[in-house]
Amino acid sequence: MAGGNWTRVGEFILMSFSSLPTEIQSLLFLTFLIIYLVTLMGNSLIILVTLADPMLHSPMYFFLRNLSFLEIGLNLVIVPKMLGTLLAWDTTISFLGCATQMYFSFFFGVDECFLLATMAYDRYVAICSPLHYAVIMNQRTRAKLAIASWFPGFPVATVQTTWLFSFPFCGTNKVNHFFCDSPPVLRLVCADTALFEIYAIVGTILVVMTPCLLILCSYTHIAAAILKIPSAKGKHKAFSTCSSHLLVVSLFYVSLSLTYFRPKSNNSPESKKLLSLSYTVVTPMLNPIIYSLRNNEVKNALGRTLHKALGLRNVIP
């Protein structure tokens, strides 16, 4: 005991989907295992192909490769432990393990927000200034943009995690979630968290809404440029280069905002879990598909890479 009814917590119990029948949990295990493997395979292929094929060394695929790194990292932090809890292998997670999981989930999540904004800017330059695209998005510029996208995760994750885990915990140590996310862990705190909640809301506005506004600004200019294209075919081609990005942005930002704008909201824990599944499990699996695997450039590059690896020649031009 550490003063009054406060308890020095040494570990937490992840409740995951324990309220569901065992049969349903087994089905979820198989489903999430397949999604996890598809996510790792799809994003790894994107990284390998965009590195190996010279035709995919453009800025768009450079940023896509960074996105795949983030998606793999987020999945490695969250999904393996979730799979273990579904089969009740080990539902416990140490205090340090919980803090580490939260830290990296924030790190990868925040960085993805800014990277999606960077990708929107890349599309803005490609459509609104096509003649100057290669000059503007040169190697030095894209490297700076990538660094700027990866950096915000460090201070946000450090402050959020350190502050939250400095609070005392009491009563139950059961985290009603499938990973150590801020809102369910916050519910276990035995202290006044009003200031932290204000910080969490302000932080969400800064790291979620600021990139979102940059994306909206980019696409406002993109839409204006597309409307000026005289041919319907030209408009369709220009829009098709942005539709995948818009789809992923919508899915990612909506679920992220609903989860973190109200860290102690009265929304049911199950609805919170579904929202979290959207951006931590489903979106990372869909990204390689909706961004690249239906893209002819990527499919042709994948074919060339596979044939080269197998020692075949002159089969794919």
pTM of the model: 0.86
DSSP per-residue string spanning 222-270: HHHHHHT-SSHHHHHHHHHHHHHHHHHHHHHHHHHHHHHSSTT--S-HH
315 inside domain: no
300 inside domain: no
- Which pLDDT does position 314 carry in this prediction? 47
Tell me the β-bridge partners of 189: 169
312 inside domain: no
What is the three-class DSSP state of 5? Answer: coil
Quote the number of domains for the chain.
1
- Which pLDDT does position 200 carry in this prediction? 86
Measured from the Cβ of residue 23, the count of other Cβ atoms closer than 10 Å reads 8
DSSP per-residue string spanning 38-87: HHHHHHHHHHHHHHH-GGG-SHHHHHHHHHHHHHHHHHHHHHHHHHHHHT
DSSP per-residue string spanning 116-152: HHHHHHHHHHHHHSGGGHHHHT-HHHHHHHHHHHHTT
78 inside domain: yes
- Which pLDDT does position 101 carry in this prediction? 96
The owner of tokens 């993109």 is: 222
275 inside domain: yes
What is the domain range of residue 162?
9-293
CATH number of domain containing 130: 1.20.1070.10
pLDDT tens across the length of the chain (317 residues) = 344 445 566 789 998 888 888 888 889 999 999 999 999 998 998 898 888 888 888 898 899 999 999 999 999 999 999 998 888 767 899 999 999 999 999 999 999 999 999 999 999 999 998 889 999 999 999 999 999 999 999 999 999 999 999 999 887 889 999 999 988 899 899 889 999 989 888 888 888 888 989 999 999 999 998 888 888 877 877 777 787 788 888 878 877 777 666 555 555 666 778 778 888 888 888 888 877 656 667 777 777 777 776 665 544 44
110 inside domain: yes
Enter the DSSP assignment of 209: I
- Which pLDDT does position 170 carry in this prediction? 81
306 inside domain: no
d(CA 222, CA 217): 9
DSSP per-residue string spanning 149-193: HHTTHHHHHHHHHHHHTTS-EES--EESSSS--HHHHHTTB-S--
- Which pLDDT does position 114 carry in this prediction? 94
CA-wise closest residue to 289 among 238, 233, 248: 248
